[in-house]
Structure 1
Amino acid sequence: MRALIVKTSSLGDIIHAFPVAAYLQDRCPGILIDWVVEQPFSELVRSHPYVHSVYTVHTKKWRKGRGWKEIAAIRKQLKSQSWDVVFDLQGNSKSAILTHWANSSDKVGYGDRLVFEKPNLWVTTHQYDPPPEANVREENLFLVRSYLQDKAPFQSKAVYLNISTEEEELVDQIDRRLPNQRKVMVCPGSAWLSKQVEQKALVCFLKQIPKTHFLLIWGSDSEREAVDFLHREIPNSSVMDRFSIPVLQNLMGRVDEVIAMDSLPLHLAATIDVPTYSVFGASSAQKYKPFGKKHRAFQGVCPYGRTFSRRCPILRTCETGACIRSLTGDELFEHYSSSKI
């Protein structure tokens, strides 16, 4: 059997779709899994051990009218290879074009309730709507399980991304240098300020966690400033270098817990099932936190009465982000302590 996954962006959403590859590998031994992805994210997908071939696109060039040769090339590639089934997990107009080109008689996508852009409905032959309460990872799996008519229990196992021998040695060196005590990775950043705990509150929270060494992770200049502040305030901490996503994931496998916001590192930790504690404000913990008893989350409450099932409608425009920015370290530690399994 050969399947094509169309999930082109973004980094976090691609990681949400990784359980689909694990599921297909489990249910269909010997399957070849191919993937269509935006070029900037292609190395992440190439590092997945269950992905056979990666097809890259650069749709920003398409929109600017500069990618005609590339469009012709990817169209030819998708038409020249045959697949038993195509899973369009993106659900928008862009992915509809790619799904339409893919050479397969079975094309699976979201139904009318959840599809992100209606033109996607025109190209899929099998459409399914996950339950409204489903976690985002379960939404992706629901499409595939429904197509295969499979209701048997499935528990995703840890799947480590491929890294080089030199990168393995780097992870080993970091692990050997760290103190011989409980280790917690802290990822304070997120794409939006309204998804980040205020720095002083985070310091207050972390200082109350006993007998722990904290690995501070960053991915941008502003996040580097944030972890430098945390390091100055918390002596039992180490600022890590900036790592590639596969290296970061492999390092996560050496710690006891990951503390993060609703961000890429949180979703990355879920792929190897390292325990997590996450803080949500303008997005729903029920929808986005990793599922399972190992994964705990604090859900901030909007002081303006906004409610939502996925993300707050004013996530990008809210001037205060009070649902998460007003949280105190004591509040977080009380919940952290009381929710331990």
Structure 2
Amino acid sequence: MLLDQFLSHQKFPRILILRLSSIGDVLQASPVARELRKAFPSAYISWLIESKSQEVIQDNSNLDSVFVWPRKEWNAEAKKTGDYHALVRKNLAFVKQIRKEKFQISIDLHGMFRSGLLGYLSGAKYRLCLPNSREYAEHFANVKVKTGNFPTVFSRYLSVLKEFGIHRTEPEMEMQISLCDERFAMEFMANYGLKKKGFFILNPATSQPNKCWSTDKFAKLGDMLVDTYQLPILLLGAKSDRPLTKKIVDGMRHKPIDATGLVNLKQLGAITKQARTFISGDTGPLYIAQAVGTPTVAIFGPTNANYYSLEKKNHIFIQGRDACTNNVTIIELYRAVRQLMP
């Protein structure tokens, strides 16, 4: 029986979505869950993700469950102890847990060998794979998804939905913020004297050095924004980003609030939701800001802004000339922020 025939007879399909990482990619794939829920309101929909990115998909109202695979932690433990038999046992037990859910359809939105293998091992009869995948992931699939040249990352993810008869889709990312995280944000803001929509966020770090805008430029931009709007600057980032944000703190005349390493991803989302504008390079927190509806100014260098960015009036991206992030000027960023101000 073909997938469309199966869906015409099955009102309660059990669907497993696989997008294992990273933060931005998971959020960009999140519209798939929403569109499936709209088309199949009684379906059982689950998401399989690695532990580092789990916070951005947990509590998603379109999902019935989330499987968290601590792949890197298990691998690190096996390397440390030398007990690779234990690693195999853990992974087999994890697969057994997935198979208990009796998924009928798996959708591999990661498009690599390990995600394709997990989709196959899930026991799903109908297996789809992201078009233009890598590492032979498509060989684990048995439902053909059309390949092609996709203008945006969202169109690539959403293309798999055509196999479900879903043709009209919206590339709206989603990240649910809990009441607990909302309360944390309110307390955090009160502690630092921040008001709703009354502060700018600078997020200077990215996962790759060639995606980072210079700290000197961030510092000068921060001072320009404070001089113009008399609104404070909040610096965010992971604990490992502290050397980077310290340079910005040291370089600014108007000392910013440095919360680097003090909040988790959910808390970052809750705080960001209250900000006036979020200014960042191409990195996970940028897409968290877009998912929670905060206006963003994004700095792109080696990655294609047209491919990864949402075309929305409250999200502005600036592509560095010659694919170089630091070719973006301070005045370009400043004008973009001014454009978003009421």
What's the TM-score bracket when you normalise by the shorter of the two chains?
Answer: 0.7 to 0.9
Q: Is the 8 A contact 2:27 2:173 kept in 1?
A: no
Aligned to 1:314: none
Distance in structure 2 (CA, Å) of the matches to 1:92 and 1:181:
40
Counterparts of residues 135-154 of structure 1 (less than 5 Å): 135-143=152-160, 145-154=161-170
Distance in structure 2 (CA, Å) of the matches to 1:331 and 1:214:
18
Specify the SS of the correspondent of 1:46: coil
Deviation string, structure 1 residues 49-105 (Cα, Å, up to 9, x no partner): 433222233445569644221232123223332224211001111112111112222
**Structure 1 residues 152 and 289 mapped into 2: Cα distance closer, same or farther (>3 Å)?**
closer
Deviation string, structure 1 residues 176-201 (Cα, Å, up to 9, x no partner): 42157632211111111111111112
Q: Which runs of 5+ in 2 are unaligned?
A: 1-11
Query: For 1:186, which of 174, 177, 202 is the aligned residue?
Result: 202
Residue 44 (structure 2) pairs with residue 32 (structure 1): yes
**Structure 1 residues 3 and 224 mapped into 2: Cα distance closer, same or farther (>3 Å)?**
same
Residue 222 (structure 2) pairs with residue 202 (structure 1): no
Distance in structure 1 (CA, Å) of the matches to 2:173 and 2:284:
19
Query: For 2:32, which of 11, 14, 20 is the aligned residue?
Result: 20
Residue 281 (structure 2) pairs with residue 255 (structure 1): no
Residue 283 (structure 2) pairs with residue 296 (structure 1): no
Q: Identify, as 1 or 2, the structure richer in helix.
A: 2
Q: Is the 8 A contact 1:278 1:298 kept in 2?
A: yes
Q: Is the 8 A contact 1:187 1:259 kept in 2?
A: yes
**Structure 1 residues 101 and 134 mapped into 2: Cα distance closer, same or farther (>3 Å)?**
same
Deviation string, structure 1 residues 12-62 (Cα, Å, up to 9, x no partner): 322222222222233322332212222344454334343322223344556
Distance in structure 1 (CA, Å) of the matches to 2:169 and 2:89:
45
Query: For 1:125, which of 122, 127, 142 is the aligned residue?
Result: 142
Q: Is the 8 A contact 1:96 1:123 kept in 2?
A: yes
Distance in structure 2 (CA, Å) of the matches to 1:36 and 1:250:
24
Give percent identity, aligned residues only. Answer: 19
**Structure 1 residues 126 and 97 mapped into 2: Cα distance closer, same or farther (>3 Å)?**
same
Deviation string, structure 1 residues 270-320 (Cα, Å, up to 9, x no partner): 222221110001111112223422211010122xxx7xxxxxxxxxxxxxx
Distance in structure 1 (CA, Å) of the matches to 2:98 and 2:196:
51
Distance in structure 2 (CA, Å) of the matches to 1:130 and 1:301:
30
Q: TM-score, normalised by structure 2?
A: 0.81
Residue 254 (structure 2) pairs with residue 235 (structure 1): yes
**Structure 1 residues 331 and 257 mapped into 2: Cα distance closer, same or farther (>3 Å)?**
closer
Query: For 1:77, which of 94, 97, 114 is the aligned residue?
Result: 97
Counterparts of residues 1-341 of structure 1 (less than 5 Å): 1=12, 2-60=14-72, 61=74, 65-66=84-85, 67-111=87-131, 114-118=132-136, 120-129=137-146, 131-143=148-160, 145-154=161-170, 156=172, 159-162=175-178, 164=180, 167-176=181-190, 177-179=193-195, 182-209=198-225, 210-211=228-229, 212-221=231-240, 223-232=241-250, 233-235=252-254, 237-240=256-259, 242-302=262-322, 323-334=324-335, 336-337=337-338
Specify the SS of the correspondent of 1:55: strand
CA-CA distance at 1:107 after TM superposition: 1.2
**Structure 1 residues 79 and 180 mapped into 2: Cα distance closer, same or farther (>3 Å)?**
closer
Distance in structure 2 (CA, Å) of the matches to 1:216 and 1:5:
34
